Amino acid sequence: MKKSIIAAVLVLPMLASCSQTERSTAVGAASGAVIGGVVTGRAGGALAGAAIGGAAGYLVGRSSRADYCIYRDRHGRRYEARC
C-alpha cells in the first residue's frame, strides 16, 4: 500500500504536463489494467485491460479536442475537422 501511494505521488505531477489525449490514454490504460487484473486475477488480464483501456482513452481524448468535430463522409468513414 505504501508503495502505491509513493508511485501515485511520483506519477500524478507528470500527468499535469500531458495533453488531453495523453492524459485520457494514461487514465484509460491504468483503469483498464486495474479492472482487467481484478476481474481475471492474472497479469495477462491486466495487460489486456491496459491495452483496451488505453485505446479507449486515446479515442475519447482525441475526439474531445476543442474546435474539432467528428464527421462521416458518404462512404461512412469518420474524419475530424474544425467545426
Which residue has 489525449 as its cell numbers?
Answer: 21
- Tens of pLDDT, residue by residue over 24-73, are 888 889 899 989 999 998 888 999 999 999 999 888 887 766 677 778 88
Asked if the model's pLDDT at residue 15 lies above 70, the reply is no
Q: Coil, strand, or helix at residue 71?
A: strand
Are 62 and 28 within 8 A, CB to CB?
A: no
Are 24 and 57 within 8 A, CB to CB?
A: yes
Pseudo-torsion of CA 10, 13, 14, 20, nearest 10°?
140
Q: Which pTM value belongs to this model?
A: 0.60
Buried/exposed 4-15: b ≥16 CB within 10 Å, e otherwise: eeeeeeeeeeee
* Model confidence band, residue 78 (pLDDT cutoffs 50, 70, 90): confident
**pLDDT at res. 58:** 87
Q: What are the domain boundaries of the chain? A: 20-82
